[in-house]
Structure 1
Amino acid sequence: MVFGIVTSMKPLPMLPPASLSRTAIDRNHRMRAAGIEAVWQTGRAHAVVGHRGSMLVSRGGLHLLTQDQVPAEAFHFYLGADVDGNHFIGAALLDEGRSELDRSLSDEQARDAESWLTDPIGGIDATEPVWTPLRELGEELSDRDVALATSLIALGNWHMAHTHSPRNGRPTELVQSGWVRREPDVGSEHFPRTDPAVIMAVVHTEPSGEEHLLLGSNAMWPEDRFSLLAGFVEPGETLESAVIREVQEEAGITVRSPRYVGSQPWPFPASLMLGFTAESDTMSTTADEDEITALRWFTRPQLRAAMEAGQVTVPTTVSIAGQILYGWLDRDDTVGTGEAPGTDGPTPASR
């Protein structure tokens, strides 16, 4: 058998919409202009509520409230409509609003004692509403609910931090159903901010086709926690240039062939994660010691063994880091196939 010399990694397929990337909502910009009150007047509106990164859930999804149940101490947004024509308003609760709603829910539960006897299940499937962090809900919510929750948390975080004009320091007001803040005196408008960040699977390929994946441990993490390298895109920089720069800064190596594989909103507080793969011709790395304290190369068998032994923990597939990592891990190396460099192999099983 003739063995081919493989100089490139097997390209990963584009990521399917997963976790926080999923959506089944029409954002309906025309209804935004009509205003929140007009949305309620349709008679087909419901509210969902969030507070500091957590969502109120029950019965397998976001807990829906009526207009009179939504606390006033909140930022209110029109989030969009579903395929059935139902409209959804998001309320990013202030601390006072969260306390008010919790008291109201507690009073309702006290009046309905039967629920305590028939509801032994907690979490998203609880009969009575409970608060759960969005990070824990990303893979459990429906496409509709995850889109609502992600937008609500992102908008809430932005409004909390941008109550005043960056031009003159004056208070701004919500317009366009919460999607814009306007300075009343001069009319300048300010839009929600999303910071682009690249995250990349850096791979070194042996002539035999065996691949090694580079993972790093952040200075703020436990020593056994490893993930893909990542960093924010700087002004005036392309995404591909950001991939090359960030790997050089954090690992001391130059990579080539950045390839885009997918994206994911990450509203903690306001990022859009842009996933890439990139190839390295060397395995001689140097951690920057500021952000990254340790770097390790893994073959697929090595990474599986380290994870099974509890020696290494990696991100779950709620994040794009985990989605890319498992997408690579679930593929087979090109060994002894005689494939030409860069040839796509069989499509891997989805995860």
Structure 2
Amino acid sequence: MTRALHDRAAVHRLDEAWLTAAWEAPGSRVLVIEQGKVHWTDESGPALLLVAPADAPDGERYFLGVDADDTAYFAVAAEALPEGVDAQVGHLYTLGSVLGDRDAGLLVHAFGLENWHRTHTFCARCGQPTEPVAAGHVRKCTVCAAEHFPRTDPAVIMLVVDPLDRALLGRQASWPEKRFSTLAGFVEPGESLRQAVVREVAEEVGAQVTGVTYVDSQPWPFPSSLMLGFHATAADDRIDVDGAEIAEARWFSRDELRAAVAAGDVLLPGTISISRHLIELWFGEVIPESNKW
């Protein structure tokens, strides 16, 4: 679910001499990214196309980290992906579930940084242009010197079960028919994670939560969320969907969910997502992939 092998090596982000030497090292590797798109190959399994620094195009440069062999990894945010490359173009949505752990971790890191830099080019304090510093992990105002850091929005995502141990899945109004997933919502200012779970469940489906258990977390850079996963218990099986954000919600026993997925009546979230992880933890095994998002 959350996969990464590279050490972010934050100690080097302010060491310009080290960064320069790492960029010039022939063994260093660069991921070229353009508005979330990257090149990848499938010669011996899906893998990112990483190039030598000398072959990287111009663009903002971000230091991603090093691996166990001290290979340094960078990302370059280019205006366009290089042409004439024997590779395919992919996106985190399509590649996240098929890449190996190293490449998945590098792509999530690079995607989050590139999106943040692209959308935060001006100072929130004085409105003047900002520039990347700290090897791409900070933006600094060119006028008032205010420092701005990558934004991460905490969100709770929860699988709710009733006293009969049936799972509650909902469909957002904007989703196609048959697409169901866990409930989720952003944490509000001054709110604990447990409070957020209780509030979101009550707002979306009218259920009253009596127990909340933390399970796991997942960075979700679409564009900048941190998903905090929970299992929650409802007092009873009464639900009343809000009709705005949630169009419908249903309780499923394990047998009912297995049959609905097999028949194509329910589309579950893809294996890349923490929502799928929460569902399968409750289910007790991997749910066959008859369909996916």
Q: Does TM-score exceed 0.5, indicating one fold?
A: yes
Give the corresponding residue for 1:109.
Answer: none
Deviations 1:197-234 (A, max 9, x none): 0000000122xxxx210011001101210000000011
State the secondary structure of the residue aligned to 1:33: coil
State the secondary structure of the residue aligned to 2:190: coil
Give the corresponding residue for 2:60.
Answer: 75
**Which amino acid is the alignment partner of residue 70 of structure 1?**
A
Give the corresponding residue for 1:27.
Answer: 8
Instruction: Return the TM-score normalized by structure 1.
Output: 0.77
State the secondary structure of the residue aligned to 2:268: coil
**Which amino acid is the alignment partner of residue 49 of structure 1?**
V
**Which amino acid is the alignment partner of residue 262 of structure 1?**
D
**Which amino acid is the alignment partner of residue 50 of structure 1?**
I
Matches within 5 A, 1:108-123: none
Q: 1:243 to 1:264 in 2, by over 3 A?
A: same
**Which amino acid is the alignment partner of residue 63 of structure 1?**
L
Q: Which runs of 5+ in 2 are unaligned?
A: none
Deviations 1:99-139 (A, max 9, x none): xx12x42xxxxxxxxxxxxxxxxxxxxxx321112122223
Distance 2:25 2:35 in 1: 29
| Partners of 1:31 and 1:39 within 8 A in 2 | no
**Which amino acid is the alignment partner of residue 252 of structure 2?**
F
Point out the structure with max Rg over C-alpha: 1
State the secondary structure of the residue aligned to 1:253: coil
1:250 and 2:204 matched: yes
1:189 and 2:138 matched: no
**Which amino acid is the alignment partner of residue 82 of structure 1?**
D
Q: How many residue pairs were aligned?
A: 283
| Partners of 2:163 and 2:237 within 8 A in 1 | no
Give the corresponding residue for 1:84.
Answer: 69
Give the corresponding residue for 1:335.
Answer: none
Distance 2:193 2:75 in 1: 32
**Which amino acid is the alignment partner of residue 207 of structure 2?**
I
What's the C-alpha RMSD, in Å, of the aligned pairs? Answer: 1.8
Instruction: Return the TM-score normalized by structure 2.
Output: 0.92
Give the corresponding residue for 1:302.
Answer: 256
Distance 2:31 2:147 in 1: 26
Q: Which runs of 5+ in 1 are unaligned?
A: 1-17, 106-127, 332-347
Distance 1:193 1:93 in 2: 21
Give the corresponding residue for 1:289.
Answer: 243
Distance 1:256 1:38 in 2: 56
- The CA deviation at 1:34 is 2.3
State the structure with bigger RCO (CA 8 A, min sep 6), 1 or 2. 1
Large movers: runs of 4+ above 6 Å: none
State the secondary structure of the residue aligned to 1:205: coil
| Partners of 1:22 and 1:147 within 8 A in 2 | yes
Q: 1:132 to 1:155 in 2, by over 3 A?
A: same
- The CA deviation at 1:187 is 1.7
Distance 1:316 1:327 in 2: 14
Matches within 5 A, 1:163-312: 163-206=121-164, 211-312=165-266
**Which amino acid is the alignment partner of residue 90 of structure 2?**
T
- The CA deviation at 1:43 is 3.6
Distance 1:193 1:33 in 2: 20
1:55 and 2:9 matched: no
Q: Identify which range, 171-180 or 51-60, moves more after superposition.
A: 51-60
Identity %: 41
Deviations 1:286-305 (A, max 9, x none): 11111101011100000110
| Partners of 1:181 and 1:190 within 8 A in 2 | yes
**Which amino acid is the alignment partner of residue 133 of structure 1?**
H
| Partners of 2:26 and 2:52 within 8 A in 1 | no
Deviations 1:47-70 (A, max 9, x none): 012233332112431111122322
State the secondary structure of the residue aligned to 1:135: helix
Distance 1:325 1:222 in 2: 20
Distance 1:293 1:93 in 2: 40
- The CA deviation at 1:328 is 1.3
Distance 1:261 1:305 in 2: 26
| Partners of 2:167 and 2:252 within 8 A in 1 | yes
Which residue of 317, 320, 341 maps to 2:271? 317
